[in-house]
Amino acid sequence: MAELTRDMVLEALGRVRGPDLDRSIVEMKMVSDIFISDGKVYFSINVPAERAEELEPLRQAAERTVKALPGVKGAVVSLTAERKLGSAPPPPRPQAGAPAHSHGHSHAPAAPTPSGTQRSKTGVPGIDAIIAVASGKGGVGKSTTAVNLALALKANGLRVGILDADVYGPSMPRLLGITGRPQQIENRIIVPMENFGIKVMSMGFLVDEGTAMIWRGPMVQSALMQMLREVAWGDLDVLVVDMPPGTGDAQLTMAQQVPLSGAVIVSTPQDLALIDARKGVLTQTRRHSYLAHLVGIPHIVVAVNKMDLVNYDQAAYEKIKADYLAFAEQIGLQRAGHDITFIPLSALNGDMIVDRGEGMDWYTGPTLIDLLEAVPAAHSEQSEDFRFPVQFVCRPHASDDPELHDFRGFMGKVESGEIAVGDAVTALPSGQSSKVKAIQLGSEQLPEAITEQSVTLLLEDEIDISRGDMIVKTGGAPEPVKQIEAFVCWLSETPLSAARTYIIRHTTRESKAKVGEISYKVDVNTLEQLPSQGLAMNDIARISFRLAQPLMVDAYSRNRATGAFIVIDESTNNTVGAGMITG
């Protein structure tokens, strides 16, 4: 079979007609640089910004054409709309439920704050994509890579922010030359600092540089989520998150709480190329990858940094690549549909981040910026079954307002799927059924609600529903269960004990639980399934729990929202573990 070449791809794309149907996208010079690596083809199609949504079928046609070529294992194709530097960004996306008019009174109680008509792909309103930059250990250039990546995205006209999640060693203030304290506005919202046109939030702005951080467990999780969700980021195209080195609370919190668009794992050739055969790939890198496999991060970049320290030696890079692929094959990372791409780079010199540099002519794949621009957005849950955990039952009983006297609305967030007025629904665990009478967002009536919208549902019938219950479409209801089996990552310094009672928090519902059985603990180095009577911090194990109250669950592989839970210590109320329910 002939080797796949750029010319072969261009020839095939020459058969794809452009928007005017008279010329091909090649003739119209709409195709960006084409990169080919390990049988995968990467390129983008330049289109007018205002026609991006309309031309999605064009992207799909180009992708199908390239995938049909002999020797092509996959294709990553994106639509890009260049914006000149210094030009004004597009207007902010309208928030769903913003009132179209005001006439001095309200027809119904206010619903929870909306997430927007379009589903927020990252779970943070206003931010289109979140990319985590992680490493197995410190000192590998992770933060330098994160900064270079952010600056490169900014130089390409994108609106970019950096979240310095490395609470133990925040480095963004020094790397970006920012000093001072961020301002706090109403509702305790923090205004991020800014330099080079990039919005930045870091623990380094809030504590003195010489102050030792002794936070662990829930304190780290809380700080990370506050810096993510209680900061006035505004509208961003990309938020780059500089993770702490190693593995632990911050990594798992980010993976479970935010649907990441992708992850960059930074490693160095001297660390992996010089270790002996008994150690193989670093433990932290293995654990990062195993967690990525468990939580379903779709796109993984293995960035081999500090290539300048080994004189850009291709053999050092290839050894790391072979070692990692062998481990990825063991855990089924590629078989599970994850996309893995390797990039050699020098964050210090900027090689293979934006520009290719001069030292690695042997590498023909995309630069980091080219790859990240071509990676599609995080997957959509629109095709999943409708799941609506009830957060609050609203019954104002306003005797002076006839419309509110018998009002009974169920408030919550659409965790997955969609719902429309007139749809038949079932309340769980009771199993009672009704139909959707109305969907409200504040004072506005909606015909339907989609994933991640916070709304109030009104039903045609008076049925018993309370906080913690779940409303689902009739015919697509999960069976309430009183025993679950899951992969659990233990986050606490206090070991798990089978003799203790814990609390399982799943969506808006809680249940006391006892450990039924620890099937096995996973050794991330050998993937051996080890017998265990307990778990220590950072251990990963398959565990069953016996529940006092029924939960309405899905397998994590099918539904992130209803397939995940946290484990709470009953005596301290600390989060001690996080679980992903198996199918």
Q: How confident is the model at residue 2 (pLDDT cuts 50, 70, 90)?
A: low
Asked if the structure places residue 177 within a domain, the reply is yes
Looking at 243-247, 289-293, 363-367, which range is the least confident one? 243-247
Q: How confident is the model at residue 527 (pLDDT cuts 50, 70, 90)?
A: confident
Check pLDDT > 70 for residue 46: yes
Q: Angle between the 6-13 and 56-67 helix axes, to the nearest 10 degrees?
A: 130
pLDDT in tens, 319-344: 888 888 888 887 777 665 567 888 88
Q: How confident is the model at residue 460 (pLDDT cuts 50, 70, 90)?
A: very high
Please give the pLDDT value at position 277.
23
Check pLDDT > 80 for residue 148: yes
Between 34 and 247, the more confident residue is 34
pLDDT in tens, 548-563: 999 999 988 888 889 9
Q: Is 91 exposed, middle or buried (0-12, 13-18, 19+ CB in 10 A)?
A: exposed
Please give the pLDDT value at position 483.
95
Q: Angle between the 283-295 and 314-331 helix axes, to the nearest 10 degrees?
A: 50
Question: Which tokens belong to 549?
Answer: 């109250």
Pair (344, 202) in one structural domain = yes
Pair (52, 138) in one structural domain = no
Q: What is the CATH number of the domain that holds 58?
A: 3.30.300.130
Q: What is the CATH number of the domain that holds 300?
A: 3.40.50.300
Pair (176, 303) in one structural domain = yes
Q: Is the pTM of this model over 0.85?
A: no
Pair (239, 274) in one structural domain = yes
Pair (411, 283) in one structural domain = no
Domain range spanning residue 515? Answer: 481-581
Please give the pLDDT value at position 522.
86
Tell me which of 319, 350, 374 is where a domain ends: 374
Pair (444, 313) in one structural domain = no
Pair (248, 306) in one structural domain = yes
Pair (196, 341) in one structural domain = yes
Asked if the structure places residue 85 within a domain, the reply is no
Pair (238, 311) in one structural domain = yes
Q: Residue 498 contacts by C-beta under 8 Å, 6 or more apart in sequence? A: 514, 515, 518, 533, 534
C-alpha distances (whole Å) from 281 to each of 278, 322, 341 are 10, 10, 17
Asked if the structure places residue 113 within a domain, the reply is no
Tell me which of 454, 473, 492 is where a domain ends: 473
Between 453 and 115, the more confident residue is 453
Check pLDDT > 70 for residue 55: yes
Tell me which of 54, 80, 106 is where a domain ends: 80
Q: What is the CATH number of the domain that holds 564?
A: 2.40.30.10
Q: Into how many domains does the chain fold?
A: 4
Asked if the structure places residue 184 within a domain, the reply is yes
* Maximum mean pLDDT: which of 377-386, 397-406, 542-551: 542-551
